[in-house]
Structure 1
Amino acid sequence: MNERTAIMGRMFSLLGLLFLLPAAILLQIFRVNMLESDGLKELWSKQTIDTIPISAQRGNIFDASGSLLATNSINYKVAVDPHAPNTTRDHLNTISNVLSKHTGRSAAHYQNVINNSSTRSRYIVLERSIPVSAYDDLSELGFRGLILEEEYRRNYNFGSLSAHTLGFVNHNIDGMLGLENSYNSLLKGTDGLQQVRKDRNNRIFAYVGAPQKLPAQGLNLHTTIDAYIQAITEEELESGIKRHMAKYGTAIVMDPKTGAIKALANFPTYNPNNPSSIDSENRRNYAVSDMIEPGSTFKLVTAIAAVEQGVVDFDEIFETPENGRTMIHGQVMRDHDPLGDLDFTGVIAKSSNIATSEIAMRLKPETLYQYARNMGFGTPTNIDLPNEMDGRLQRPYEWSRVTLPWMSIGYEVQVTPIQMLQAYGAFANNGRMMRPYMVERITDEYGNVVDQTKPNMVRQIAKESTIKKLLPVFEEVVSDSGTAGWASVEGLRIAGKTGTAQKLVDGRYQATYRASFAGFFPVEDPKYVMFVLLDEPRTSIYGGFTAGSIFKEIATRIAGLDDEIHRNLNGENFEIADRKVVPRIEGLHREDARLLLTGKNLTATYSGSGDYVIEQHPVSGEKINGNSSIKIKLGSMEADSIPDGFAEIPDLRDMNMRQATTLLLSRGLEIETIGSGTIYTQFPRAGDLMRKGRTVTVRGKAKTMEQTTVVATNK
């Protein structure tokens, strides 16, 4: 083989190798497209197709009349990425200028935020909450370096109103307390799914025709809460706690015929829109979670057991010691005062511990225990709120020699306020004990009823004849000769019982007390049963003076709302005479304060300099004579304490409809009037924040000619 042949051989070998590569490529293309195409397409689909959740909207919570208590709102957050492709300094300046037009901050402020951030930062937050108009204008810019995010949050429209009933949600929008927690699974709904595509940088893109599974929106709760009664209860409870200098308190109002809770209030309270801003103890719902020794309110159990078992005669006279003390099994039993000789009605009306324990010791321990058990003590009420305690009711085999007499007056037993309310509700309802509940019905997003709560009778606690015999006895408590004279309302028949209980701390009774009052009205046809509890009041330890006076204020205002009760009352109980309630004006602009006081025919003296009221005396809630003057101190404060688009609700009580309309319209709010004349109550409450353009409802009541004459004479 010559040299030329060898060279040609090598050339053909090289050409063969060169042609082999395209052939291999063609073969691979054939294999990929024809033989393995389905498998590879499926693999590509798995790698580039993904799903993202479509958030379900949390259900709304309404009061009994349809007012929206809790709903959802959207926050729009704006941020920038200075290093995004094609992002220039002009783009960032344009974003700053657009933001400045909507927020009131200067464009230089946002430019400084960007310039002062780390040079490597690719996520610089400029605003955490912007108006919808700003979001729309920024969206039209189309800059790649602009980041707009939607953040859903829970909004409680009336601030702290019914906070312990509603509860709040965490950052995942899961309910933590109250109804938000009890009904969390129903409120939150079920998230949907949206199919999307991802590029090689793992960025997500939506595409036309992508399949999706729509979310199942959360269900809505329609509660039994009456927002008017709730607002009244909270206002009077707060005012009473401050007046009597108590540590805390609770008040609950219920319909005894159904068990529907009309109001549930605790003070101190909190704002569920910002629950972390206050001590966690203020979020505790004392109404269902606080176990207390009730004191004399528990004498209802002893009275019912004794009368039904026939161990007491209404005409029997009980002789109590002259010094108000007696020894029972080596322990001293005391009355609050020497009470002398008493019949059975007097024993209850004057709350004699000595005579009550004497009556109780005629009963077998098992009998008193069974009546207490039948009246709901020692077992939960099963109200639809979380963290309810069972209370503590010892079985007779656990009792000591002194348990029976001391339990008969409300010691050596622990109850919750809701249990005491349920027991007095049964007393008011001819012995039929109803389960208390908060949610009337549940609806879907279209308003269809998913579930309806029916009133649930737990048991009959006693014979109707027993209840009828005892009603006049407990009505006598709320009289001048009883311990609850401070709870009486002229013209309104009220029955109830006071309670004063020494506190057990670290196993020893201390010189501190809880004061309470449980009652219902009107006695002839009870529509409202109420329990009020104060912890360590300092003006007096007695429930009649402290809790009873709060009961009176709440009952008076509720009676004014209830047309049926109001028609049966003497109008003088609700007259707007020359005794006026001082409104809350702290934090108001001086002109708003002047307009508010003028509308209530009140005068003021001013001191200090500035545009805002920083101090007032007397404080809000106190009652003064119409010719008294309010002392106001002016100063400076943050003018932007009220969010944009919101207004603070003024105190409209005692104003006429025209004055209230003028004041509300000046704040950008609408007004709905019920009745005429002088405003008696309002919703929302004074001090709440409300979005401008929404409606404040007021109820008015015209003065009678007799009342007008009385007021004119006093002047």
Structure 2
Amino acid sequence: MNHRTSIMSRMFILMGLIFLLPFAILVQIFRVNVMEGDGLRELWNSQAIDYIAIPAQRGNIYDANGSLLATNSAVYKIAVDPFAPGVTRDNLDMVGSVLSRHTGRQASYYRNKIRNAPSNSRYIVLERSISVQAYEDIRELGYRGVILEEEYRRNYNFETLSAHTLGYVNHNLDGMAGLEAKYNQTLKGEDGLQQVRRDRSNRIFAYVGAPRQQPRQGSSLHTTIDSYIQAIVEEELENGIQTTRAKQGTAIVMDPKTGAVKAMANYPTFDPNTPAASDTENRRNYAVSDMFEPGSTFKLVTAIAAVEQGVVDFDEIFETPENGRIQIHGQWMRDHDPLGDLTFKQAIAKSSNIATSELAMRIQPERYYQYARNLGFGTPTNIDLHNEVGGRLQKPFEWSGVTLPWMSIGYEVQATPLQIVQAYAAFANGGKMMKPFVVSHLTDEFGNVKERTRPSLVRRIAKEETIQKLMPVFEEVVTDSGTANWASVEGLRIAGKTGTAQKYIGGRYTTSYRASFAGFFPVEDPSYVILVLLDEPRTSFYGGFTAGSVFREITKRIAGLDDSINRSISPGDQLAEENRIFIPQLVGHTEAGAESILKGTGIRYRTSGSGPFVVDQQPSAAEAIADNVVVKLTLGDIQDGESPDGFVKIPDLREMNMRKAASVIRGLGLEIEMIGSGTIYNQFPLAGELMREGRTVTVRGRARSMQNVTLTAAQ
């Protein structure tokens, strides 16, 4: 009995547990759905809800005239998921057929791409960039397995135009150089947010009524760059580099009254649409990120300091040695040629290193240093561009005994091209230095102006009367008696200074040079300051001839665009209609040599006769012609005894003016040193003598008196 009772007790207990299980389940269901339902549903929502970014549109970049330089374009990518629910082979074939109509590829190309993909791949890219129409046609198919993605790409509408100023972006549309980097956050804007749901497979679904934060679109930049001037500068800089066979070059145009940069160019250049296709070196903006010893363009500092400190008399005569060199603290200082006795004006115009260093040594080192700092050397200009460097200017306690004389002629100091432009702009602006800038104002997505750049005065570099005294001195540089006669433009008053500096490489100065010219015009009311810098020109290393020639071509074309400058020039000298060039000396060169000389000048020619040498040319050397004239070259043999290889027969230069003689001599492959001005009365070597190519011909000139002019006219 007891045994049976025990068994029954156990059965009742088991049956009770069995009956209690559904009750427990019902209780748990009640607890989950009723008692804790709201909390659990909130937890599920928090785990299933996510946020995705809504990309903001990157702002545009415009030039000073409103032309669109940089903008965005939509790029559509298409991929397929072969394992998506409801996707069939026919669906995928239809997608391939639609794509084929728009891309020109065979439909089998897309079928093979899907077939050859990894067996478990659920994201097979068919095209990374399709047209808007293709995007719409595929979207209308409504297949779940089709994945359409919209991306944005940065477009630079004029390709290489102003590439170094604009910069470029990476694959994430983040600025990497230029304005794109400097104003990256301003251009990017701020992405918005879209609330979405994720399912258990981590797939994202949008849903009706989901919260959404709209993006804040990027602001647009309106720059001071004038596309017309920029195109002129880039074209003439490239022509100049090809003509002089220089390694690279930089040119900048600035408004001295405001500091607005009108153009900034470097060559070689690159296309910001495909920056990776160019070397890193070509993508660097030399105008702000490279330093160099400026050479004689730095003599502006010495001239201003000497006049301000009263250590020079404009009638003073500087006696330079007959051999053109002098020893200073054990080091030889040389002029480019013996220059004889010079006034202060002539010392600057002819760029005498000896006279300039003598002036500098009359000034206290601390005062000279302060003038150099006042002109912006040794400190950044703070232009709104990426990667600007500040140059190098040693403090006086770091100087050696030869630092001051050598610094006065542009050595033992390093500057950027932009610093040189800023200094000459301050000189042109009556002594008021303005801060350079490239962005004039910012606008929002609706075109409203958010921020505007106002011209900012940095400091006054000198008294106004000092500038007025020195203006004729630097204007004399751009004359027949100065070193920059090749930079002159008929009918236009220009002032400036040449620079020719040896390059310091590997701890010593080499025979490689940088040639430069910094100038401004018109002198009576300067509107443009231009710097041209050429690295290692091979035809000549003198800044007046190489960089000065590029400056002249840029100036002529810019002046042709400016009505106010054109009106100030007499009708016979209208620059817009001038377009005249001087013919180089071609006689004696081989046909290939003549072609090389004419290359890049725009001069067309045709040949007649037979032979390896040019024996005659029409028009003759140094004659000015319109740019549509065709030069006629006669080919033949040069008789024995005329000119051995590597030598040139010197022509008779007497009674020529300095400019024509310079054109003739340089056309022969020689250099010329001009002493005096006006008409040539003596030359060395004499006419008919032979001279090795690359050597220097010295000519002396003097202005003809009215009595001589009258007598000549009477004869």
Paired position in structure 2 for 1:92: 92
- C-alpha distance 107-617 of structure 1, shift in aligned 2 (>3 A): farther
Give the structure 1 partner of residue 124 of structure 2: 124
Q: Which amino acid aligns with 1:95?
A: V
Match in the other structure for 1:499: 499
Alignment of 1:100-139 (within 5 A): 100-139=100-139
Distance in structure 1 (CA, Å) of the matches to 2:503 and 2:580? 40
Determine whether 1:254 maps to 2:254: yes
Counting only pairs closer than 5 Å after superposition, residues 656-671 of structure 1 correspond to structure 2 as none
Cα distance in 2 for partners of 1:330, 1:17 equals: 114
Does the C-alpha gap of structure 1 residues 155 and 506 become closer, same or farther in structure 2, counting only changes over 3 Å? same
Q: Is the contact made by 2:561 and 2:576 (CA closer than 8 Å) also made in structure 1?
A: no
Assess if the C-alpha contact under 8 Å between 2:566 and 2:574 holds in 1: no
Per the alignment, residue 25 of structure 2 pairs with: 25
Q: Which amino acid letter does the alignment assign opposite residue 576 of structure 2?
A: F
Any conservation in 1 of the 2:566–2:576 contact (CA below 8 Å)? no
Structure 1 residues 51 and 419 mapped into 2: Cα distance closer, same or farther (>3 Å)? same
Which residue of the partner structure matches residue 521 of structure 2?
A: 521
Q: Tell me how far 1:111 sits from its aligned partner.
A: 2.3
Deviation at 1:246, TM superposition (A): 0.8
**Deviation of the 1:626 alpha carbon:** 7.8
Deviations 1:215-252 (A, max 9, x none): 11111111111111111111111111111111111111
Paired AA for residue 89 in structure 2:
R
Where 2:141 maps in the other structure, the secondary structure is coil
CA deviations over 1:178-229 (Å, ceiling 9, x no partner): 1111111211111111111111111110011101111111111111111111
- The question of whether the paired residues in 2 share the 8 Å contact of 1:579 and 1:626 is answered with no
Aligned residue identity for 2:602: K
Distance in 2, matches of 1:618 and 1:36, equals 92
Q: Which residue of 1 aligns with 2:602?
A: 623
Equivalent position amino acid for 1:558 in 2 = I
Q: Structure 1: how far apart are the matches of 2:354 and 2:153? A: 57
Aligned pairs (5 A) from 1:273-288: 273-288=273-288
User: Are the aligned partners of 1:498 and 1:516 in contact in 2 as well (CA < 8 Å)?
Assistant: yes
What one-letter code is carried by the residue in structure 1 that aligns with 2:577? E
Larger mean CA deviation between 268-277 and 540-549 belongs to 268-277
Larger-gyration structure (1/2): 2
- Amino acid aligned to 2:80: V
Equivalents in 1 of 2:30, 2:235: separation in Å?
82
Q: How many angstroms apart in 2 are the aligned matches of 1:619 and 1:472?
A: 35
- 2:575 is matched with 573
Partner of 1:389: 389
Provide the rounded CA distance (Å) in 2 between the counterparts of 1:195 and 1:405: 70
- State the alpha-carbon separation in 2 of the partners of residues 572 and 313 from structure 1: 38
How do 1:598-677 and structure 2 match up within 5 A? 621-625=600-604
- Counterpart of 1:118, as a letter, is P
Paired residue secondary structure (1:575): helix
**For the structure 1 residues 474 and 188, does the alpha-carbon distance in structure 2 shift closer, same or farther, using more than 3 Å as the test?**
same
Determine if contact 1:224/1:438 at 8 Å carries over to the other structure: yes
Q: In the superposition, relative to structure 1, how do residues 628 and 24 fare at CA in structure 2: closer, same or farther (>3 Å)?
A: farther
Amino acid at match of 1:372: A
CA distance in 1, matches of 2:21, 2:194: 44
Measure the CA separation in 1 of the matches of 2:457 and 2:607. 52
Structure 1's 578 and 421: CA in aligned 2 closer, same or farther, altered over 3 A? Answer: closer
- More divergent stretch after superposition (160-169 vs 87-96): 87-96
State the 1:398 CA deviation: 1.3
Q: Which residue of 2 aligns with 1:296?
A: 296
Unaligned runs of at least 5 residues, structure 2: 584-594, 609-626, 629-715
Q: Distance in 1 between matches of 2:81 and 2:599?
A: 50
Distance 1:500 1:618, change over 3 A: closer
How far apart are residue 303 of structure 1 and its match? Answer: 0.5
Please list the CA deviations of residues 92-118 of structure 1 after superposition, one character each: whole Å capped at 9, or x if unmatched. Answer: 221111111111222222223233333
Distance (whole Å) between structure 1 residues aligned to residue 140 and residue 382 of structure 2: 54
Cα deviation, 1:346-373, whole Å, max 9, x if unaligned, reads 1111101111111111111112111111
The 3-state SS of whatever aligns with 1:498 is strand
The 2-side partners of 1:524 and 1:105 are apart by: 65
Aligned 8 A contact 1:493 1:521 in 2: yes
Closer/same/farther in 2, CA of residues 177 and 54 from structure 1, 3 Å limit: same
Using the TM superposition, give the Cα deviation of residue 531 of structure 1 relative to its aligned residue in structure 2, in angstroms.
Answer: 0.9
In structure 2, distance between residues paired with 1:553 and 1:271: 25
Farther-moved stretch of structure 1 (442-451 vs 295-304): 442-451
Q: Deviation at 1:341?
A: 1.5
CA offsets per residue over residues 123-153 of structure 1, 9 Å max, x none? 2222111110001001111222222111212
Report if the CA contact (8 A) 2:164-2:266 is conserved. yes
SS of the equivalent of 2:458 reads: strand
CA distance in 1, matches of 2:387, 2:131: 39
Q: Is the 8 A contact 1:579 1:623 kept in 2?
A: no
- Offset at residue 441 of structure 1 (A): 0.8
> Percent of aligned positions with the same letter in both sequences?
71
Q: What is aligned with 1:310?
A: 310
Q: Cα distance 1:620–1:44, how it changes in 2: closer, same or farther (>3 A)? A: farther
Within 2, Cα distance between the matches of 1:575 and 1:120? 71
Change (3 A) 1:155 1:468: same
**Paired residue for 1:191?**
191
Q: Using the alignment, how far apart are the partners of 1:78 and 1:580 within structure 2?
A: 60
1:280-314: CA deviations, max 9, x gaps? 11111111111111000000000011111111111
Deviation at 1:474, TM superposition (A): 0.5
Distance in 1 (alpha carbons) for counterparts of 2:190 and 2:76 = 23
Residues in 2 aligned to 1:504 and 1:25: alpha-carbon distance in whole angstroms: 90
Distance in 1, Cα, partners of 2:602 & 2:189: 48
**2:369 paired residue number:** 369
Cα 1:577–1:303 shift into 2, 3 Å: closer
Query: Following the alignment from structure 1 to structure 2, what is the Cα–Cα distance between the partners of residues 322 and 65?
Result: 55
* C-alpha displacement of 1:429: 0.2
Structure 1 position 6, deviation (Å): 9.7
Query: In the alignment, residue 478 of structure 2 is paired with which amino acid?
Result: V
| Change in 2 beyond 3 A, CA 1:240/1:578 | closer
Q: Please name the residue that 1:330 is paired with.
A: 330
Give the 5 Å matches for 1:434-583: 434-569=434-569, 570=571, 571-575=573-577
Q: Measure, in 1, the Cα distance between the counterparts of 2:597 and 2:307.
A: 49
Greater alpha carbon shift after TM alignment, 512-521 vs 307-316: 307-316
SS of residue in 2 equivalent to 1:623: coil
1:23 Cα offset (Å): 1.6
Q: Does 1:242 align with 2:242?
A: yes
Map of 2:208 onto structure 1 = 208
Task: Provide TM-score, normalisation by structure 2.
Answer: 0.80
Q: Deviations over 1:255-292 (max 9, x none)?
A: 00000111111111111111111111111111111111
1:604-642 alpha-carbon deviations (Å, 9 max, x no partner): xxxxxxxxxxxx99998541248799xxxxxxxxxxxxx
Asked whether the 8 Å contact 1:431–1:462 carries over to 2, the reply is yes
Shift of 1:62: 1.1
Deviation string for 1:483-542 (max 9, x for gaps)?
111111111111000000001112100110000000001111101101111111111101
Secondary structure of the residue aligned to 1:105 is coil
Q: Give, in whole Å, the separation in 1 of the partners of 2:59 and 2:266.
A: 25
In 1, the alpha carbon distance for the partners of 2:601 and 2:465 equals 44
- In structure 2, the residue corresponding to 1:394 is in which secondary structure? coil
Aligned partners of 2:184 and 2:77: how far apart in 1?
27
Question: Which amino acid counterpart does residue 603 of structure 2 have in structure 1?
Answer: I
Other-structure match for 2:632 = none
State how far apart, in whole Å, the 1-side matches of 2:328 and 2:114 are: 80
Secondary structure, counterpart of 2:72 in structure 1: strand
Counterpart amino acid of residue 534 in structure 1: L
- How many residues are treated as equivalent by the alignment? 597
Q: How far apart in 2 are the matches of 1:620 and 1:86? A: 67
Query: Could you tell me which amino acid in structure 2 is paired with residue 624 of structure 1?
Result: I
- Two-structure CA RMSD over aligned residues (Å): 2.5
Could you tell me which runs of 5 or more consecutive residues in structure 1 were left unpaired when the two chains were aligned.
Answer: 582-615, 630-652, 655-715
Q: Would the alpha carbon gap of residues 347 and 63 (structure 1) be closer, same or farther in structure 2, given more than 3 Å must change?
A: same
More moved, 430-439 vs 563-572: 563-572
Partner Cα separation in structure 1 for residue 526 and residue 509 of structure 2:
36
**For the Cα contact (< 8 Å) 1:578–1:625, is it kept in 2?**
no
Q: Match for residue 355 of structure 1?
A: 355
Residues 435 and 294 of structure 1: CA distance in aligned 2, closer, same or farther (over 3 Å)? same
